[in-house]
Structure 1
Amino acid sequence: MKTKQLIIATLLITFFISASTAQSMDEFKISPEWISKIERLAPSEPSVKNVSKKRILVFSKATGFKHWTIPHNVEMLKILGKKSDIFDIHIGYDVENFSKDNLKKYDAVILNNSNPEGPKRDLFSDLLKMNSSLTDARIAEQAAVYENNLMEYVKKGGGLMLLHGAIVVQNNSLEFSKMTGGSFDYHPKQQEMHVKEVDVNHPLVKAFKGKGLTHVDEPYFFKNAYFDYNFRPLLYIEADKLKGLRKTPKNNINYVSWIKRYGKGRVFYSSPSHNAQSLDNPEFLMFLLDGMQYVVGDLKADDSPMVKK
């Protein structure tokens, strides 16, 4: 009898493990073939042409959960910059990239899945701990300086683009959340989802041609400043069509991409995507290129806050 119960329990465990990982996408290494594919799929030209070339810092260091797509995003962004011929892409991994003098060199900063460790979720503090012998008190003080440097950079006109997990960078800072449009709460398991446009006529989502984006991803849910809705939403998912929710969301419409102003600067956030397979979609690549043009000020679009509902 005990043997039978053990077999049943083992089968149930196997079933639930299989169900929870069934739609996880396999990691793969960057290869010359993959690079060639992205070069082929990348937009032939930007939405806004005949603009001056802009310098963009792509910060790609994670101190907590390391998304396997970080290096893939680096190569993808290099390709977008080179093929469009309007961006010089510079890759950064060191905390000194957020010094005032260094930030002045760039027209925009892209935070590429720069996840910090939990529960503190303070990227600048983590970076200082890894690369200095400062006391905890001094680290806290200096981390606040770097955070303020980035916020002032955007407020004075710099662009900021956040990819997927980068929304967690300063997750417990309410002021940072107000700048980015929200903080990370949680995500259910990876699953296929249909991401839809909020306004099919908005220039930032024209790449999807009114059809949205269907792919396998982590459905992100947000907290803190997110519920101020102080942004112009671009893409959303419907919570009642998702599996594995931990709690009933406040709203069935869950926004997963938006743009917003912060002072004189512009912010673009895209929760898609956790997986490099999503980069196989040329419409998604165009969406990201348009986001880059928006944050540097070349692509003009309605970024007024939505009406709070």
Structure 2
Amino acid sequence: MALRKFVCTVLLGAAILGKSTAPSLAEDPKPKKLLVLTFCGGFKHSCLEIAEKTIAQIGRDSGVFEAEALNLWQLRPDLINLSFLTPEYMNRYDGFLFFTTTGDNVKATEEQKQGILNAIKDGKALIGTHTTTDSFYNWPEWGEMVGAYFDGHPWNAGDPPVTLKVEDKNHPATAMLGDEWVIQDEIYQFREPYSREKLHVLLSLDNSKTDMEKGDRIHRGKDGDYAVAWCREYGKGKVFYTALGHREDVWTNPTFQAHLLGGIKWAFGLAEGDATPSAKLK
């Protein structure tokens, strides 16, 4: 019954997304094909089923994409096999959305790794949500492509809401937010290869409105930079990542859905948005 209520909320939220206020490019008359990957070799989030349903509903309501979810989160870690990710299989899709954890259980062969990298370099879209940065720690090129690796969450999902600073008010993933966004969710910190020299940061924690004295939860880099969403170009492809999405009610939040849809549209090349590394904008 609880899940049914969540799904109903998803449907209502997605239905009122409306059109993005960000500039749009000429749209492909056919919806893009998006493969949703949710395998869990590490921590398994309770929101994964709701996330898959929400992504599919956003695609249907917007007409932008058709999502295919493989329900990989249902598999035991030792049964997860990525051998299906061949170049031929990936060619069926225009983009890939990862909400994954790998732990030490999920491994990819060198051929599979190169196939994923090549798909994005050759123009496919990569969308990452929440735990995408908590994946493939022994594959440096993955971290480089996505933009960072997870390094803990100083602000937990049950902590009071935080204020996010909108660093790009014109990007389709953030154009609906104004100057700031107050939201309750788990907030990550990141380690290398995270760098504003490479990434166009869209959202970051507003330190002036955040409890920064949390004992041993202080940012390990001590630079005070807590990015929450970013984008980048990778070869001919585009990468959009949002660290949000731990809580179930985040996925049913219409504002989050609009944020995600805007990022997906940008990654598919259907909406204009700057990807200049943030360090070069100063």
Matched, 1:30 2:3: yes
Alpha-carbon deviation of 1:101? 0.8
Write the distance in 2 (CA, Å) between the matches of 1:189 and 1:153: 34
Query: Quick one: which amino acid aligns to residue 85 of structure 2?
Result: F
TM-score normalized by structure 1? 0.77
Matched, 1:151 2:151: no
Higher-Rg member (1/2) = 1
Preserved contact between residue 250 and residue 256 of structure 2 (Cα < 8 Å): yes
What percent identity do the matched residue pairs reach?
24
Write the distance in 2 (CA, Å) between the matches of 1:184 and 1:80: 27
Query: Quick one: which amino acid aligns to residue 92 of structure 2?
Result: K
**What is aligned with 2:199?**
231
**What is aligned with 2:211?**
241
Alpha-carbon deviation of 1:247? 4.6
**What is aligned with 2:245?**
273
Alpha-carbon deviation of 1:207? 1.6
**What is aligned with 1:167?**
133
Alpha-carbon deviation of 1:282? 1.4
CA gap of 1:204–1:228, structure 2 versus 1, over 3 A, is closer
The residue correspondences of 1:125-274 to structure 2 (distance < 5 A) are 125=107, 143-190=109-156, 191=159, 192-212=161-181, 214-227=182-195, 229-239=197-207, 241-242=211-212, 243-244=214-215, 245-274=217-246
What root-mean-square deviation, in Å, do the aligned CA atoms of Structure 1 and Structure 2 show? Answer: 2.2
CA gap of 1:36–1:228, structure 2 versus 1, over 3 A, is closer
Preserved contact between residue 207 and residue 284 of structure 1 (Cα < 8 Å): no
CA gap of 1:36–1:223, structure 2 versus 1, over 3 A, is same
Normalized per residue, which structure has more helix? 1
Query: Quick one: which amino acid aligns to residue 115 of structure 1?
Result: T
Matched, 1:80 2:50: no
Query: Quick one: which amino acid aligns to residue 114 of structure 2?
Result: N
Number of aligned residues = 259
Among residues 63, 66, 70, which one is paired with 2:41 in the alignment? 63
Among residues 78, 90, 95, which one is paired with 1:108 in the alignment? 95
Preserved contact between residue 7 and residue 50 of structure 2 (Cα < 8 Å): no
Structure 2 residue runs of 5 or longer lacking an equivalent are 73-80
Higher relative contact order (CA 8 A, sep 6+): 2
Write the distance in 1 (CA, Å) between the matches of 2:221 and 2:140: 20
Give a deviation string over 1:64-103, Cα, whole Å, max 9, x none. 1101111111010011011112211111235244211111
